[in-house]
Chains A and B, each alone.
Chain A
């Protein structure tokens, strides 16, 4: 038997003998913190699994957490953190699940005055600290992953080109415009113009919160490119503050048609298309 295993033996024995009590107390403590957001059965299942994997590691202090011996516990904790991120738990709540085990085990060994056991407890405490930190790190990683995914989805989702009428397309822009997004909008719009054979496009910027010189530059480029292809663009929905910014920045829209609202822009486009929209006289059926 190696010295390493012997080192943690007393504690291992103690933990193995009292497994059920420890897990039960551990679950109770964490359940109190989470206040019913995870059921006791779920916690009991997760913690039992963790406990079984941690037991053979008692006696090591977790300094070589990256090693092969810890692969299983690392994977397990990573999965646990990931599930917690998706379920909307805070990082402290997630990491404290691991730290709670420490107190439970300390309570268990409280009345024992064996100095050997005390040293082993200290080592065990170090191990749990390392595992707790790993949990925290996994949590952060999982969250960054989600943010990255969402950023990509946002890029795809928020640039739809819709057909308003035969020959009239619209792009409702929402949120913040940066070069990358404007580039995508520009390409999508121009492709759609060719595909649908539309001669009018309305770029609606009602949902755009801020316009700077660069964004305006991109908008102007889009309009000129569309013009080169034989289509006219109308910019609509410029907010009052943005109008002030545009004037203050000295951006010239030249002969590009701008309208206050999408409705005005549509009316303009329809007139250019030669479509007349008239209101039915009152009382007349369709």
Chain B
């Protein structure tokens, strides 16, 4: 089974999905990510899906699940680079990904996390 690598950049974990996701690898990714957030104390997670062309409801739910997991560790999740076809499919499946932030590309996603972290700093 292929595993999705999780990279750490400063305060942010970057998950770039470059493979065709199997249900098994999705479950593994969720486990790995939970562990990684807890061990690094990251404040943000970016999931780059610009290479993903096909999604099903299981993968669709993965985003929401990851966002919920991250929230438990007080980290924000941003999904970036979703393709039009994928977006249309998710809408048709009735998955609106409430509570998940989205951005057009990685750069904008990082910017959003930066703003959130800054706000967090102010609040603290």
Q: Identify the A interface with B (CB < 8 A).
A: 186-187, 190-191, 193-194, 197-199, 221, 224-231
- Interface of A, helix, strand, loop or mixed by DSSP: helix
* Shortest distance from the beta carbon of A222 to any chain B beta carbon, whole Å: 8
Q: A190-B84, A194-B84 are in contact. Are A230 and B104 (CB under 8 A)?
A: yes
Q: Mark B66-96, 1 if CB is under 8 A from A, else 0.
A: 0000000000000110111011101110001
Query: Cα distance A227–B91 when bound, in Å?
Result: 10
* Cβ contacts under 8 Å, A197 to chain B: 104-105
B61 at the binding interface (Cβ < 8 Å): no
B59 at the binding interface (Cβ < 8 Å): no
Q: Which residue of B lies closest to A186 (CB)?
A: B88
Do B96 and A229 touch across chains, with their CB atoms under 8 A apart?
no
Q: Which residue of A lies closest to B100 (CB)?
A: A228
Do A221 and B84 touch across chains, with their CB atoms under 8 A apart?
no
Do A231 and B104 touch across chains, with their CB atoms under 8 A apart?
yes
What are 5 pairs between A and B in contact, CB < 8 Å?
A: A221-B92, A227-B96, A228-B82, A228-B97, A230-B103
Interface size class of B (residues with CB under 8 A): 20 to 34
* Cβ contacts under 8 Å, B84 to chain A: 187, 190-191, 193-194, 225, 229
Give 20 A-B pairs besides A197-B104, A229-B82, A230-B80 with Cβ atoms closer than 8 angstroms. A190-B84, A194-B83, A194-B104, A197-B105, A198-B104, A199-B108, A221-B88, A224-B91, A224-B96, A225-B84, A225-B91, A226-B87, A227-B96, A228-B90, A229-B102, A229-B104, A230-B105, A230-B108, A230-B109, A231-B104
* Shortest distance from the beta carbon of B64 to any chain A beta carbon, whole Å: 12
* Cβ contacts under 8 Å, B105 to chain A: 197, 230
